[in-house]
Amino acid sequence: MLAFSQTIKQDTLRRIQQIQVITIVWMSIEAVVSLCAAWQARSPALLAFGGDSAVELLSAIVVLWRFRSGLVQPRAERTASRIAGILLFALVVCLSVVSALSLLGHNEPTTSYLGIAILIVAAVLMPWLATEKRKLSAASGSSALRADAVQSGLCAYLSLIALIGLVVNAVWHFSWADPIAALAVIPLLLWEGKEAIRGRACRCD
């Protein structure tokens, strides 16, 4: 782990800020579009995805604030990391509630082509953002950025799950497919949320 007192290289700091700005802009679009589509189609999968987008938007804002200067300050680092971890736990609650409601038959989702379109774009963009954030986390020693990278990776995973769920429901009307798949990511969310609250930085390459 890099020392908290270490000054981050200017090119790394600039790259982190650029990536976070891209994340904030895209997550704002993603959250609004997916939540509107979820409302129109009564889709629990899109609602879960939109909730994830909103959580990641907050996390990206927190991490951008944390990198407003080139110095890694212990208190700011711990606070940002813990907030990111709490947001991961909030996502677990969102996924659990939405999936349970779907499995209990309280929602009858309809086909949403707008939702399918936003999910396809997210499935392409989010893996790239997650990879860049993991690299920058290793370079900066930031556990907050590490947690944010996890959320970007999970967003990509959830976009694929939701996309499969929407397509399966549209073709075969198996509405239970996407909440079952969404529940599978909860153990990973809990683990990474715990690691973020502990303040463990990324050691990946």
Which tokens belong to 100? 């349970």
Write down the domain spans for the chain: 10-197
Region 24-51 average pLDDT: 89
CATH number assigned to the domain with residue range 10-197, chosen from the 4 options 3.40.120.10, 1.20.1510.10, 3.50.50.60, 1.10.10.60: 1.20.1510.10
Q: Which of 45, 158, 183, 53 is nearest to 111 (CA)?
A: 45
What are the structure tokens assigned to 136, written together? 């920058």
pLDDT in tens, 141-177: 877 788 788 888 888 888 888 898 888 888 887 777 7
Give per-residue pLDDT as tens, 76-118.
667 777 877 788 888 888 878 877 887 887 777 778 889 999 9
